[in-house]
């Protein structure tokens, strides 16, 4: 027992002995470790530049400024939503790619928002003050939310259009930071390659390596109708990085669960992952078949299918990690070491109960999970119209309240993102809406049960598919003017509306709010209040040498270009453009687009195409630049290998790898395949 | 520790203290317990009658003779395969039901086989002799299979058409019994209600109770063109059973996993259940959408969808049981108690290593599982044509070998069942075949990987869907004459065939056999050899008071009519016909068929419809009669409640329930809804 605990404590205490693990906040980089490891110590200017040149795509991705004129490099799969929204049956930019001949031809993305981090400040004391003596239930939740909204509102001031402020919980409540961002909502598409090369190998090659993907897109941030002028941007290094060379990933990893307790991990495994896996698999089968019915049905559903398949694999990988007895045992050992540490020290002793309180909250979660997801997460209502209707119904209620009392997504600070989506011109396809809604209503019935009064109220005596068709045929929410009218008309207009989706959102609302309240008061608040305690134990044991779990905020991870060993065989770190032609069969997803086949003679087949590094990243890092020590872009992160999926719970340097597009391949393709000389020049600064 | 072990040992040692658990073989009934519990001790005549009046449907169900003229009562969902095969777009007996006006109108099921158990004999000594000194690997597997085939061939003699003999491993190899059956292959459909009432409530109500299902069908066994005359059959009791009254279920539970080691259970959980759940969910989404495309696509795929949804829920329930920490802890405690018992006793001591050897075999299984399922279980080739092609390819190879050396499904004893399916007239729908095969080939590629040489050989440069279309369009295996020709032509004809499915089956065969051999030699043989050891420990500890895991052989379970408590609220044991009308909405699956709506005034609304009992059953028991102490039918088992799914691993009498159609409802419906007076009279013996 002692040896085990010590061993684990050793791991926790000396991050320098750990490999390249860590998604570090920019104000707490492991500088000593970096210096020892790479002979490189980032100075304040380097860090500031990295912060200002990195961007977040509010939809869930990362990117970076790559020219003084606001050009942003990200992944194709991060921009595909916009690309599809700009497409139609006649002009399919997903299939055929897009290149704006001039800046005037750049097309505005209906609902893309870009955030650039400007400042981080510590608000831990203020947040702790606000919740002091509130216990760990409803009162805690209420005060915590109110204080967050207050801090954010003060930060935003009257500049909500251009400023976004988020209070971020680090270490699951061990610290609270205020992140202030510059917000850009006028974002236009400049370049996207064909889906066939952006996602060459498709789902069969997903999370595998070698890969041959040009998973890139270029968008540009505008303000007042002009390209944004930026001071900080990353120049591109065509040479890229050599094997063994250090690489730094700057970006916005979404979430990791490395600091969860064992009880939380078991709940994630037994409840969330199993439920997600079955749901995603069923959606996958549904969308696979729907897409086979016609070219148009394939077109309108393909990005959903891609998203579903991607998430399915993530969840599958996470589940495999959590059913691996060695992983969960490792977590048990870590937890035992922390407990022992706390138990033996006077000021920490009182925190030991935190584990039990968190465990008790998991039991509540297990009880309410299905209802919470069906009603509040709206999994029972898979439909763009339902999302719109809920924003309208809740928006009317919430905007009538003081800012600090609103649901968090309706605070003044949050409204610009919400209204961008609410009034988006993105097309909605009625047939597809019916299919999605009809199916998800069958899931609602399955998960809540036929005899649930709300289910009976929604379905009445009709089949779910009949209800879906009636609603989609009857709605006027396709009309942006109608949405605007309802938004501006507020509670009265919404109450009067006879739109069937508004009626549905109204019917669901009370119960959805009730289960959300239970979740927030009886699960989340308990977890947060106790996570603060656990963070104190952790800090006492490990000092500042720990990084917080990912929170979709800016992080830096370090690593080197390096292959790995798969089932006894070495995997080389690089692929080449020539390799893509060797893998081409002509049948999707292994069919290179015509543009590439036509350019074969011109292309440098030895040009490195994709490569892998030991950087510790996760979902949300898509679109992140890989930088060298001179802060030049050497690659564009777009994936992890299959072993990276266990990274949600722990980082295994032996096999966990980041997969990136080589900087040289980006320039090579822009020049030789797409004739995008102007953009290539802008990118390469030449 | 001690108390826990003792507590568990106590459970294992005194079956009388256990509740109604157990699927007992007919030669080892817990008679003392039955007497104590119900004041009823079945005598030899009762047992013999029960044995001879019960039947097995070789496709995976149970049933019973209910008249002297060979009439068999089973579930609609056990006969639905036949009902669908007899249907066409114009005559849809699944939707509309079927009633043969006279016996001459009864329709032959293309591939139904009925088995009636005639004799059980113990062949343990002979089997043990055959494998003595063979270790636990390839040699053990070879000798064991050969001896089984020899025993079965001797038992069948020259009467393979009418006799079926199976060597059955009980207690996972603790004992071997020879089961001799009378085989009936001429089985004809006499009556089936509409699917809408057979499966009223459909998937939303599946595994729930209250239920309102007439899940019944009547088929008749024929020989030489005449109804079989049977001496032993069960009369029906229209009164049924009262609350608290004992009920006996006789039938063929398929498999349980109550005696698996913890290492095996963890493998089942982590590997088999997770893989099945994702596969079934995806099939579910695919079939849901395919069925929505047209009335005909719904018709041809509906029984597959029903099967997939049913299995999905079973797997989901099993997974939930195995991720429940209390269930796996219970198993760990049981195992520890057994180990302790063995360790302390001289002759048993040497068996302790059995647990470790079984655990080591699980690691092999985890390695080969995907390949085994894709290639040998043919999950990569979801197609009736592929099944046909494999039977032809392997049949030619195997029939050329001596009987004892063949793959088990090609022994002389097994051939009648195989050829019945091979030459079946069941329709095959090309469009549906393409959809299934195309999708499953994408799964093959996903699971084995794009770069697997066999995957490359099968797909070449084509998309999976293109390959599927080419194969289905090019095959001649739809023609029964072609199948006969290839079967009779043997190896030479098969080698010469240019049929694309024959070519596919040939291409896959070597690798499929290779991975099967690894499974049989390195997993199954190790498990079997060591299960024999574990069975010895178990017998020493518990005496004969244990029942073997289910093996799709005849078992008797006892219980009583009794509701249960669900989330604090009592669930009544009976529903009524009137309740079905209350639940009717008019929208499938809650739409009563017209025949019922038209008969409402005539029907006794207070007639009990479905009911629940504490009998311990599992999949394979579908169609089992529920008998009273006079061996009269009081019900027809067709389901378990949601809690019964954990029954795969342990029986929880508090909540695990069998769900049955009430005998009175069967007669009421035949008489008043279907005007099937002749059959009702035959059934009720009046």
Q: Which tens digits make up the pLDDT trace of B558-585?
A: 999 999 999 899 999 999 999 999 999 9
Cα–Cα distance measured from residue A13 to residue A337, given in angstroms and rounded to the nearest whole number: 11
A485 alpha carbon, distance to own chain's centre? 32
CB–CB of B143/B130 below 8 Å? yes
Cα–Cα distance measured from residue A53 to residue A487, given in angstroms and rounded to the nearest whole number: 35
Torsion over CA: B577, B580, B582, B586 (sign): negative
Residue A187 DSSP one-character state? E
Alpha-carbon distance values, A547 to A355, B297, B467 (Å): 20, 55, 50
B683: tokens are 């059934």
Q: In whole numbers, what is the pLDDT of chain B averaged over residues?
A: 94
Residue A511 has pLDDT above 90, yes or no: yes
CA A201 to chain B, closest CA, distance in angstroms equals 9
Cα–Cα distance measured from residue B37 to residue A545, given in angstroms and rounded to the nearest whole number: 66
**A contact residues 398-417, partner B, Cβ 8 Å cutoff:** none
pLDDT in tens, B185-229: 999 999 999 999 999 999 999 999 999 999 999 999 999 999 999
Torsion over CA: A458, A464, A465, A466 (sign): negative
Residue A659: how many other CB atoms lie within 10 Å: 24
CA A299 to chain B, closest CA, distance in angstroms equals 17
Cα–Cα distance measured from residue A135 to residue A108, given in angstroms and rounded to the nearest whole number: 48
Task: Tell me which of B327, B587, B589, B646 to substitute to probe the interface with A (most A C-beta atoms closer than 10 Å).
Answer: B587
Residue B7 has pLDDT above 50, yes or no: no
Of B281, B286, B323, the CB nearest to A278: B281
pLDDT in tens, B66-85: 999 999 999 999 999 999 99
To which H or E segment does residue B217 belong? Answer: strand B217-223
Of B277, B293, B588, the CB nearest to A463: B588
Mean per-residue pLDDT, B401-430: 95
Is B277 in CB contact (< 8 Å) with chain A? yes
Alpha-carbon distance values, B291 to A286, A628, B203, B239, B432 (Å): 11, 54, 15, 40, 10
Asked if A466 lies within 8 A of B270 by C-beta distance, the reply is no
CB–CB of A10/A333 below 8 Å? no
**B contact residues 314-353, partner A, Cβ 8 Å cutoff:** 316, 319-320, 323-325
Asked if A585 lies within 8 A of B461 by C-beta distance, the reply is yes
Residue B317: how many other CB atoms lie within 10 Å: 21
CB contacts of B283 in chain A (<8 Å) are 285
Residue with tokens 């009262």: B242
CB contacts of A465 in chain B (<8 Å) are 292
User: Which residues have C-beta within 8 Å of that of residue A419, sequence separation ≥ 6?
Assistant: A487
CB–CB of B675/B229 below 8 Å? no
CB contacts of A204 in chain B (<8 Å) are 442, 445-446, 449-450
Is B435 in CB contact (< 8 Å) with chain A? yes
CA A585 to chain B, closest CA, distance in angstroms equals 5
Burial of B202 (C-beta count, 10 Å sphere; 0-12/13-18/19+): middle
| Confidence (pLDDT) at A7 | 29
Residue B15 has pLDDT above 60, yes or no: no
Alpha-carbon distance values, B528 to B331, B525, B549 (Å): 20, 5, 14
Asked if B201 lies within 8 A of A288 by C-beta distance, the reply is no
Of B204, B324, B450, the CB nearest to A204: B450
User: Which range, of A155-159, A285-289, A611-615, B5-9, averages the lowest pLDDT?
Assistant: B5-9
User: Which residues have C-beta within 8 Å of that of residue B401, sequence separation ≥ 6?
Assistant: none
Residue A19 has pLDDT above 70, yes or no: no
pLDDT in tens, B121-150: 999 999 999 999 888 789 999 999 999 999
A126: tokens are 């203020």
CB–CB of A78/A217 below 8 Å? yes
Is A439 in CB contact (< 8 Å) with chain B? yes
User: Which residues have C-beta within 8 Å of that of residue A400, sequence separation ≥ 6?
Assistant: A490, A491
CA B281 to chain A, closest CA, distance in angstroms equals 5
CB–CB of B46/B578 below 8 Å? no
User: Which range, of B19-33, B52-66, B505-519, averages the lowest pLDDT?
Assistant: B19-33
Of A270, A316, A588, the CB nearest to B463: A588
B605: tokens are 């609304």
Helical spans, DSSP H, in B134-219: 138-156, 195-198, 202-205
User: Which residues have C-beta within 8 Å of that of residue B72, sequence separation ≥ 6?
Assistant: B55, B63, B64, B65, B66, B114, B187, B218, B219, B220, B221
* Nearest chain A residue (CA) to B567: A367
* Orientation of helix B464-474 relative to helix B500-518, angle to 10°: 120
| Confidence (pLDDT) at B567 | 86
Burial of B152 (C-beta count, 10 Å sphere; 0-12/13-18/19+): buried
CB–CB of B611/B573 below 8 Å? yes
Q: In whole numbers, what is the pLDDT of chain A averaged over residues?
A: 94
B295-301 contacts at long range (C-beta below 8 A, 24 or more positions apart): B296/B89, B297/B431, B297/B432, B299/B84, B299/B87, B299/B89, B299/B92, B299/B94, B299/B95, B300/B84, B300/B429, B300/B432, B301/B432
CA A281 to chain B, closest CA, distance in angstroms equals 5
CA A146 to chain B, closest CA, distance in angstroms equals 36
Residue B7: how many other CB atoms lie within 10 Å: 11
Mean per-residue pLDDT, B544-548: 79
Asked if B281 lies within 8 A of A281 by C-beta distance, the reply is yes
Is B313 in CB contact (< 8 Å) with chain A? no
CA A463 to chain B, closest CA, distance in angstroms equals 5
A99 forms bridges with which residues in the sheet?
A191
Closest CA to B454 of B403, B545, B393, B515: B515
- Residue % of chain A over a pLDDT of 90: 89
* Nearest chain B residue (CA) to A267: B323
Cα–Cα distance measured from residue A215 to residue A76, given in angstroms and rounded to the nearest whole number: 5
**B contact residues 574-633, partner A, Cβ 8 Å cutoff:** 585-588, 590
* Nearest chain A residue (CA) to B444: A204
Asked if B204 lies within 8 A of A450 by C-beta distance, the reply is yes
Asked if B269 lies within 8 A of A323 by C-beta distance, the reply is yes
| Confidence (pLDDT) at B510 | 98
Closest CA to A655 of A608, A609, A612: A612
Task: Tell me which of B275, B292, B442 to substitute to probe the interface with A (most A C-beta atoms closer than 10 Å).
Answer: B292
**Rg (chain A; Cα; Å):** 25
CB contacts of B203 in chain A (<8 Å) are 446
Residue A686 has pLDDT above 70, yes or no: no
| Confidence (pLDDT) at A197 | 98
φ/ψ of A470, rounded to 5, equals -60, -45
| Confidence (pLDDT) at A543 | 73
Task: Tell me which of A450, A586, A588 to substitute to probe the interface with B (most B C-beta atoms closer than 10 Å).
Answer: A450
CB contacts of A293 in chain B (<8 Å) are 293
pLDDT in tens, B465-491: 999 999 999 999 999 999 999 999 999
Of B283, B460, B462, the CB nearest to A285: B283
Is A277 in CB contact (< 8 Å) with chain B? yes
Residue B177 DSSP one-character state? E
pLDDT bracket for residue B19 (50, 70, 90): low
Is B285 in CB contact (< 8 Å) with chain A? yes
Mean per-residue pLDDT, A209-232: 97
CB–CB of B640/B633 below 8 Å? no
pLDDT in tens, B523-539: 999 999 999 899 999 88
- SS3 for B236-292 is ECCCCCCCCCEEEEEECCCCCCCCCCHHHHHHHHHHHHHHHHHHHHHHHHHHHHHHH
Asked if B325 lies within 8 A of A266 by C-beta distance, the reply is yes
CB contacts of B363 in chain A (<8 Å) are none
Mean per-residue pLDDT, B242-247: 97
CA B339 to chain A, closest CA, distance in angstroms equals 21
Torsion over CA: A197, A199, A200, A202 (sign): negative
CB contacts of B588 in chain A (<8 Å) are 463
pLDDT bracket for residue A544 (50, 70, 90): low
* Nearest chain A residue (CA) to B275: A316
Residue A136 has pLDDT above 50, yes or no: yes
Cα–Cα distance measured from residue A51 to residue A74, given in angstroms and rounded to the nearest whole number: 16
Is A279 in CB contact (< 8 Å) with chain B? yes
Torsion over CA: B367, B373, B379, B380 (sign): positive
User: Which residues have C-beta within 8 Å of that of residue B684, sequence separation ≥ 6?
Assistant: B235, B236, B238, B667
pLDDT bracket for residue A11 (50, 70, 90): very low
Mean per-residue pLDDT, B362-379: 96
pLDDT bracket for residue B161 (50, 70, 90): confident
Asked if B289 lies within 8 A of A284 by C-beta distance, the reply is no
CB contacts of B279 in chain A (<8 Å) are 281
Residue A84 has pLDDT above 80, yes or no: yes
**B contact residues 181-210, partner A, Cβ 8 Å cutoff:** 201, 203-205, 208
């Amino acid at each position: 027992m002692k040896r085990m605990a010590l061993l684990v404590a050793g791991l926790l205490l000396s991050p320098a002995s750990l490999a390249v693990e860590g998604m570090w906040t920019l104000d707490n980089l492991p500088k000593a470790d970096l210096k020892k490891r790479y002979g490189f110590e980032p100075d304040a200017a380097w860090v500031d530049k990295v912060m200002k040149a990195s961007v977040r795509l509010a939809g869930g991705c990362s990117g970076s400024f790559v020219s003084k004129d606001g050009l942003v490099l990200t992944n194709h799969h991060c921009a595909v939503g916009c690309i599809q929204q700009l497409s139609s049956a006649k002009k399919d930019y997903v299939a055929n790619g897009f290149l704006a001949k001039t800046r005037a031809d750049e097309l505005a993305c209906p609902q893309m928002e870009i955030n650039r981090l400007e400042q981080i400040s510590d608000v831990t004391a203020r947040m702790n003050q606000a919740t002091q003596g509130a216990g760990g239930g409803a009162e805690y939740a209420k005060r915590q939310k109110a204080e967050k909204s207050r801090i954010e509102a003060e930060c935003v001031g009257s500049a909500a259009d251009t400023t976004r402020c988020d209070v971020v919980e680090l270490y699951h409540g061990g610290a609270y930071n205020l992140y202030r961002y510059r917000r850009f909502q006028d974002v236009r598409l400049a370049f996207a390659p064909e889906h066939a090369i952006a996602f060459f190998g498709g789902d069969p090659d997903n999370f595998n390596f070698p890969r041959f993907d040009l998973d890139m897109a270029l968008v540009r941030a505008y303000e007042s109708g002009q390209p944004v002028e930026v001071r900080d941007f990353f120049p591109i290094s065509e040479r890229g990085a050599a094997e063994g060379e250090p690489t730094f990933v700057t970006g916005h990893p979404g979430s990791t669960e490395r600091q969860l307790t064992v009880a939380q991990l078991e709940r994630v495994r037994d409840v969330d992952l199993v439920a997600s896996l079955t749901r995603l698999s069923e959606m996958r089968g549904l969308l696979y078949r729907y897409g086979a019915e016609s070219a148009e049905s394939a077109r309108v559903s393909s990005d959903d299918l891609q998203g579903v398949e991607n998430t399915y694999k993530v969840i599958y990988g996470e589940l495999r990690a959590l059913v691996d007895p060695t992983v969960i045992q490792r977590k048990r050992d870590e937890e035992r070491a922390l407990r022992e540490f706390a138990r033996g020290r006077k000021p920490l002793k009182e925190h030991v109960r935190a584990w039990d309180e968190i465990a008790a909250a998991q039991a509540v979660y297990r009880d309410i999970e299905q209802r919470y997801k069906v009603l509040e997460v709206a999994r029972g209502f898979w439909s763009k119209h339902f999302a719109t209707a809920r924003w309208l119904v809740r928006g009317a209620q919430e905007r009538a309240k003081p800012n600090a009392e609103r649901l968090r997504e309706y605070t003044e600070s949050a409204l610009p993102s919400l209204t961008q989506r609410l009034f988006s011109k993105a097309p909605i396809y009625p047939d597809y809406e019916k299919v999605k809604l009809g199916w998800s209503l069958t899931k609602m019935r399955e998960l809540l049960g036929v005899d649930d009064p709300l289910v009976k109220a929604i379905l009445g005596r009709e089949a779910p598919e009949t209800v879906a068709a009636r609603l989609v045929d009857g709605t006027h929410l396709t009309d942006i003017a109608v949405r605007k009218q309802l938004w501006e008309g507020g509670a009265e207009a919404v109450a009067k509306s006879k739109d069937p989706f508004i009626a549905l959102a109204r019917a669901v609302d009370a119960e959805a709010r009730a289960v959300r309240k239970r979740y927030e008061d009886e699960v989340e608040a308990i977890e947060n209040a106790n996570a603060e305690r656990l963070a104190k134990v952790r800090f006492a044991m490990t000092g500042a040498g720990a990084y917080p779990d990912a929170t979709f905020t800016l992080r830096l991870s370090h690593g080197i270009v390096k292959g790995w060993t798969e089932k006894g065989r070495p995997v080389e770190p690089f692929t080449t453009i020539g390799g893509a032609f060797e893998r081409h069969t002509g049948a999707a997803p292994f069919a290179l687009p015509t543009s590439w086949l036509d350019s074969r003679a011109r292309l440098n087949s030895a040009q490195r195409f994709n490569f892998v590094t030991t950087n510790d990243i996760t979902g949300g890092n898509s679109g992140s630049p890989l930088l060298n020590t001179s802060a030049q872009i050497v690659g564009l992160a777009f994936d992890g290998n299959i072993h990276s999926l266990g990274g949600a719970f722990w980082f295994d340097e032996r096999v966990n790898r980041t997969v990136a597009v080589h900087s040289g391949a980006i320039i090579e393709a822009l020049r030789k395949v797409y004739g995008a000389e102007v953009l290539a020049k802008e990118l390469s600064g030449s």
